[in-house]
Amino acid sequence: MLLAPPTSSPRTPNAAFLAGFAAAWRSVMAYVLIGTYIGISALAQDLGFSLGWMMASTVLVWAGPGQVILVSALGAGANPVETAIAVGVSGARLLPMVIALLPLIKSKDTPRRALVLPAHLTAISMWIESFRLLPSVPRESRIAFANGLGVSFMVAANVGCVVGYYLATSLPPLLNAGLLFLTPMSFLISTTRNCRMLADWLALIFGFVLGPLLAAWQLGLDLVWTGVIGGSLAYGIQRLREALR
């Protein structure tokens, strides 16, 4: 289901981009995105949005949960400014992923403008596959590879948009809900598969415990706080364990 790390290193930026683009289609994440965006696009069509609008918002927002908020809020007649703030707050959960990914792909001579596109393309699918595949890619080729990976996942999402938009009238609501649930479930399975150190497993366990608690307490930004608290505790316990050895 998942692509093995490349055996040959791309020698040019274009080759690295194409290698990343191809790698996305050998990953289950591309097909999870297609399924997820079939559900999101069917929801958008039901609320009266055009296919062009849906595809443009996919490129600009590039976050499934953020798009669900965008479509649902605007479809219900919410204020555009309030909707934009809600979508922005939803996207805050991706900031730790960007912070973790950039040191993996940049070098000391990398200009900041070269990091804008990979930062925008960073989402759950691209982040997981980047950490799995990039260590075997030469550092000077990693930005291009990551861009190819992210653009390819975006293409997969837009394929789902087109399919979902034209199938909207024939998809039952329960199937739509199930398709939207594909992304969090695939993220959970992939994260579990990639756990290697004690800190990885502890962060996963703390997330299971803290996530539902913080959501039930309605503190706001529950996903962000779950990551900050759970990740910090897991990192601290890992460091303490190493110090006591």
For 89-120, the pLDDT digits (tens) are 778 778 888 998 999 999 888 999 999 999 99
Is 73 within 8 Å of 86 (Cβ atoms)? yes
CA distance 40 to 32: 12
Structure-block tokens of residue 107: 């070098």
Task: Kindly provide the residue ranges of all beta strands, DSSP E only, lying in the chain, ordered along the sequence.
Answer: none
pLDDT reported for residue 7 = 45
Is the Cα dihedral 121, 44, 86, 177 positive or negative? negative
Angle (CA) 44-96-75 rounded to 5° is 15
Indicate the residue type of 159: V
Cβ contact 148:17 at 8 Å: yes
Burial 118-140 (b: 16+ CB within 10 A, else e): bbbbbbbbbbbbbebbbeebeee
Q: pLDDT value at position 1?
A: 47
Residue 229 CA to residue 189 CA, distance in Å, equals 21
- Give the pLDDT confidence score for residue 221 in this predicted structure: 62
* Residues lower than pLDDT 50 in the chain: 1-4, 7
Which candidate, 132, 134, 159, places its Cα nearest to that of 144? 134
Q: pTM for this one?
A: 0.75
